Amino acid sequence: MSLHLQVLGPLRVWRDGLEQDLGPRQQAYLLALLLARVGKPISTSELIDLIWDEAAPSSALNVIQKYVGVLRRLLEPSLPARATGSYLHRRGNSYLFTAAPGTLDLVAFRELVDAARAQRDREAALDHYVEALGLWRGPAGSGIAEGMSTTTVFAPLDDEFYRVCTTAAELAVSLGRPQRVLPALRLASSMAPFHEPVHAGLVSVLGAAGRQAEALAAFRTVRDRLADELGIDPSPALEEAHQRVLTRPPLPVPADDGESSGLVGRAAELAVLRSAVQSALTGRTAITVLDGEPGVGKTRLLEEAAAFAARHGALVAWGSCLEGDGTPSMWPWEQALGTIVDRSPAPEVWLSGELASILRPRDSVGAAVPDGNAQFRLFEQVVNLIGHASAQQPTLLIFDDLQWADVSSLQLFKHVAGRLPAGTTIVGALRDRAPMPSSELSQVLAAASRRPGHRRLRIGPLSAADVAELVRSESGSDPGDDVTRAIHARTAGNPFFVLELSRLLSEAGTLGVPSTVRDVVRDRMAGLDDRVGDLLRIAALIGRNVDVRLLARAAGVDVAGCLARLEPLQALGLLEPGQDEPSSLRFAHDLVRESVSETTTTQQVTRLHLRVADALEQTHADDDEAAEQLAYHLWAAGPLADPARTAGALIRAGRCAANKLAFESANRHLRSAVRATRAAGLMELELSALTLLAIVVRRYSVYDASMFDMLERAEYLAGTLGRSAEAADFAFIRMMGAYTSIDEGRGALAQRMREDGLMSSDPAVRRYGRHAWGLHQWDIGNIGEAYRCFVEEDDDDAPDEETPLRRGGSIPGEGPGWRAVMTALHGDVETALAFVDTWDTPDDPYAASVWVYYTAMIASMAGDAPLARRAGERWASAGLDRLTSQLEHYIRQDWCWARAVTGDDSAAAAAEAEKLVTAELLDPPQWGIAYQYALVAEAWLAAGEPDRAEAALDRADQAIRDYGQRYAEGLLLLVRARVSLSRGEPLAVVRAAAERACALSTAREAHLFARRARRFLSELGADA
């Protein structure tokens, strides 16, 4: 049997080539402590302090002894019971880990370092050092040791790594082999941001390797960090390393890399971008994000990165995000993925699944809204496509102007960044103002920042010296110190502003111009012919990229006449030819387009939007890609556009966005359609918009107050128009939402639906009535009646009347799931779980998440922590959290409860569960607050914290007083009895409390809770 253990980085264990599950977190942490002190005994008292700190339970010693036994059998499965084995030994009141040769990476590291130090041959010594450093994968015990008292155990190991890094760096530089230790120095510098000898070694190694720009950038980064966070200057060693880089003659570089970028003041930024591209070229991954103010040169840097990648044989796929609601959803990905697919040897292979919804949008008329799992399948297909491309050729994905990206594009960016295939680099750029990054973008960037190989690069202003060089390059003459200072002061070093003022300086010989680009643009527009000015204003409304044919049609001129009028604009630098499309133009910068737009009056804006919309309908009548753009312009045209036309366009845009899985965009379009139709009194069209909105929101979003108002309005419209079945659909959806959000009027809604069901001949409406009444009975605690409502079937087999919502799969609601829950509460857990198992469709992540949700819920109600834990672990291991379902916080809650009850760091699990309730269920209030607090109380009991358990029960009682939902009252009484027992109260008091729980649950036919209470009473009898 072969055994290998790793503690120099994440804790991992392999036996016979297979990685082993290390069990609960505390058990794994115990192993990490023993490995870190290999060859040295650790007393049990120290182990208890390290694992639990001041919160050690009275059973801590027994727990450690149990963990040691489990670990011995993990390392040696054939070990007889109670045998010590070869690795974990008892020494008095201490434990000692001994490692066989080649078993533990820490021992191998120290042996190699000793060999290097004993070696007289310096080349051989370097070989030993490099091999030793290569064993490190990150901070010692990383992951498992986070949040623990690790300083005295793991930090000394990291210090050993840092010392060897600096020694090896000096040796490698002296031998002219700096590249050999560069990976280790990079790792060490990321682990120790304030360790000056390590950073001095990194600067020296980079400089000796000919990477002067990177070395200087590394020095500036650590210097600024020391100043900003510690208020100190760099150490003499760091300063000396810096000086050596400055005085070292540059090494010759390959001719291909020697191409001048023409950029001024951006050497360090270029070095970082080229390093990111090199990651892809060498089979690794990287994510680099540039941010800075508009005009600072982000796009220019992206162009340089693209050129560098292309020169070195990489595939470059570029996606630009555009401003404005008229931009098609998923637009940046449509561009980037189109490039990859076009370069694929078999493009048709990638267009057979969800990817076609982006690259080949289908006709939306009559098309069904995609199912709930379609977005996940699309995202995975994109990852597979990129992985296939990068396996053939290093791949660089570039996304410019991420601040304009739609939410669905950002979600896909996050997904791809989290599963980035080897040989792929992502480089993105965004503005840090005008506009500020949205909350969605900030969340995506935060998630990306946790990925390996991530760099966030702030692109700042140019220095005065760089401004002088840029002006000199643009104007062809030396501006002089006074002019340079004036330009630098008035532009704040913004390269775009500097260039604009430099051009005016070259043309007019003076700086007597306003200090902003807006004034520059207006000044240039002042000399234009009125017809040219109108054309420019229309172009600004169309967007940064302008289709000349669309512009000509909107302006009412032919294409040739349009191009003739545009010539002065190109000469003035306001417009320039499109990058890849001969029939398009683009604004030189978004700031130019924004400046033009601000010269247009409100009256002109609405009129011009309508002209653009008219032109779009004439040129792109059947093009779904233009649907969202058309809807935007008609909506912006306001009262000048026919309301029915605007609403129809918005509904079509919403359907197109939904078909592309851009659900937030679909939601926005459809809500606008509802407002437009209601204002115009277009009842049929308003109902159509509300129907599609109900499907989209019910599947992919969360209810809010405005949605309830819209559902009530939809029910009224359907009834007024004589569509009673549709009215019932909307009423049922509204009722389900009312129970989800614990609306005060939910009982009245359920009563009304029950009455409607009793009077209806429609099987679906009858079923709505039974399910609504069943939810009401569950809500008030009558479990038996609720169960009978959900299991009752119709006497006849008449088919449901078909309605748009029923065709869309939005209803008949969540009856099957609630039927399983009621069956379990009524006492038949086995039947309930078997029913849930029928939904566990293979290879369907969405179905799997629903299975996890109901399985974990029923298991927690039954007190079956191992089953709830298995369900939660499946949800996590399968990556189902990527679905971002609204079920997620309930799944997490049940999983925390299960971990706590099974003894996996119970206190931490209980605290996490309580935090989840506070963050996800209280504001606004959501169903299940009292029950979830019952789980929190059980978790705190498992952690040996009866006071905190009682506090959770008090909050549960308050939730019942505030919101109702009495179905868990029997369980709450039972947990209170357990709290009394934990506090050592008399058995008679405990027994009386448990009997009250049993009696209440029995009376309400909550037989599951009654059975749990009887089991507890039986245990009390055994204890007595």
Q: What is the pLDDT of residue 524?
A: 67
Q: What is the pLDDT of residue 355?
A: 80
Specify whether the CB–CB gap between 281 and 244 falls below 8 A: no
Same domain as 281, residue 404 = yes
Helix (H, G, I), strand (E, B) or coil at 730: helix
Same domain as 537, residue 404 = no
Same domain as 285, residue 311 = yes
Question: In this structure, is residue 911 part of a structural domain?
Answer: yes
Residue 579 sits in a domain of what CATH number? 1.10.10.10
> Peptide bond preceding 643: is omega within 30 degrees of 0, i.e. cis?
no
Question: In this structure, is residue 723 part of a structural domain?
Answer: no
Same domain as 416, residue 292 = yes
> In the numeric block, which tokens belong to residue 562?
């349009």
By residue range, what is the domain housing residue 593?
A: 513-600
Long-range (24+ apart) CB contacts under 8 A made by 960-966 are 960/930, 962/925, 963/742, 963/925, 963/929, 963/930, 964/742, 964/779, 964/780, 965/742, 965/779, 965/927, 965/928, 965/929, 965/930, 965/931, 966/779, 966/780, 966/781, 966/930
Looking at the 3D structure of the chain, how many domains does it have? Answer: 6
Question: In this structure, is residue 959 part of a structural domain?
Answer: yes
Mean pLDDT by 10 residues, the chain (1024 residues): 87 84 87 92 89 83 89 87 82 88 92 92 91 89 64 85 94 87 88 91 87 80 86 88 76 43 81 91 90 85 90 88 77 89 76 74 57 76 89 90 90 92 93 75 86 88 84 74 74 74 58 48 73 88 88 91 84 70 72 75 89 89 82 91 93 86 82 92 93 76 69 90 86 83 87 89 86 93 94 63 65 66 94 86 71 92 94 79 65 92 91 89 85 95 93 93 91 95 91 95 96 92 54
Long-range (24+ apart) CB contacts under 8 A made by 665-674 are 665/329, 665/406, 665/407, 665/408, 665/628, 666/696, 667/693, 667/696, 667/697, 667/701, 668/325, 669/628, 669/631, 670/696, 671/706, 671/710, 672/631, 672/635, 673/646, 673/647, 674/710, 674/713
623-657 pLDDT, tens digit each: 777 888 899 999 999 999 999 999 999 999 988 88
Specify whether the CB–CB gap between 592 and 569 falls below 8 A: no
Residue 398 sits in a domain of what CATH number? 3.40.50.300
Backbone angles phi, psi at 757, to 5 degrees: -65, -40
Same domain as 126, residue 206 = no
H or E segment to which residue 448 belongs: helix 439-449
Which of 561, 582, 600 is the last residue in one of the domains? 600
Residue 110 exposed, middle or buried by CB count within 10 Å (0-12, 13-18, 19+): middle
Query: Do the strands 584-587 and 18-19 form a parallel or antiparallel pair, or are they unpaired?
Result: unpaired
Backbone angles phi, psi at 429, to 5 degrees: -140, 145
Nearest partner of 644 among 618, 668, 677, 671, judged by Cα: 677
- Order the strands of the 575-577 sheet from edge to edge: 545-547, 584-587, 575-577
Which of 442, 459, 476 is the last residue in one of the domains? 459
> In the numeric block, which tokens belong to residue 798?
């008449």
Dihedral, 230, 235, 238, 239 alpha carbons, nearest 10: 110
- Cα 479 to its chain centre, rounded Å, is 48
| Residues 325, 404: Cα–Cα separation, whole Å | 10
810-845 pLDDT, tens digit each: 444 455 788 899 999 999 999 999 988 887 776 666
Specify whether the CB–CB gap between 640 and 606 falls below 8 A: yes
Question: In this structure, is residue 947 part of a structural domain?
Answer: yes
| Residues 502, 507: Cα–Cα separation, whole Å | 9
Same domain as 493, residue 543 = no
Same domain as 1012, residue 873 = yes
Specify whether the CB–CB gap between 23 and 16 falls below 8 A: no
Question: In this structure, is residue 197 part of a structural domain?
Answer: yes
H or E segment to which residue 584 belongs: strand 584-587
| Residues 926, 9: Cα–Cα separation, whole Å | 41
| Residues 736, 817: Cα–Cα separation, whole Å | 13
Same domain as 1016, residue 941 = yes
| Residues 693, 810: Cα–Cα separation, whole Å | 11
Specify whether the CB–CB gap between 242 and 219 falls below 8 A: yes
Specify whether the CB–CB gap between 35 and 97 falls below 8 A: yes
Same domain as 106, residue 17 = yes
Q: What is the pLDDT of residue 371?
A: 58
Query: Do the strands 18-19 and 12-15 form a parallel or antiparallel pair, or are they unpaired?
Result: antiparallel
Question: In this structure, is residue 771 part of a structural domain?
Answer: no
Nearest partner of 301 among 414, 215, 409, 400, judged by Cα: 400
Nearest partner of 592 among 492, 488, 522, 529, judged by Cα: 522
Long-range (24+ apart) CB contacts under 8 A made by 257-260 are 257/308, 259/307, 259/311
Question: In this structure, is residue 709 part of a structural domain?
Answer: no
| Planar angle of CA 984, 985, 988, nearest 5 degrees | 130
Residue 1000 sits in a domain of what CATH number? 1.25.40
The CB density around residue 532, as the number of other CB atoms within 10 Å, is 17
Same domain as 584, residue 471 = no
Same domain as 386, residue 274 = yes
Question: In this structure, is residue 732 part of a structural domain?
Answer: no
Q: List all residues 6 or more positions away from 756 whose beta carbon is below 8 Å from its beta carbon.
A: 728, 731, 765, 768, 769
Same domain as 33, residue 82 = yes
Which of 600, 631, 664 is the last residue in one of the domains? 600
| Residues 42, 57: Cα–Cα separation, whole Å | 19
Give the DSSP letter string of 748-773: HHHHHHHHHHHH---HHHHHHHHHHH
- Order the strands of the 12-15 sheet from edge to edge: 3-6, 12-15, 18-19
Backbone angles phi, psi at 398, to 5 degrees: -120, 130
> In the numeric block, which tokens belong to residue 843?
């290879």
**CA atoms 55, 59, 62, 66: torsion sign:** negative
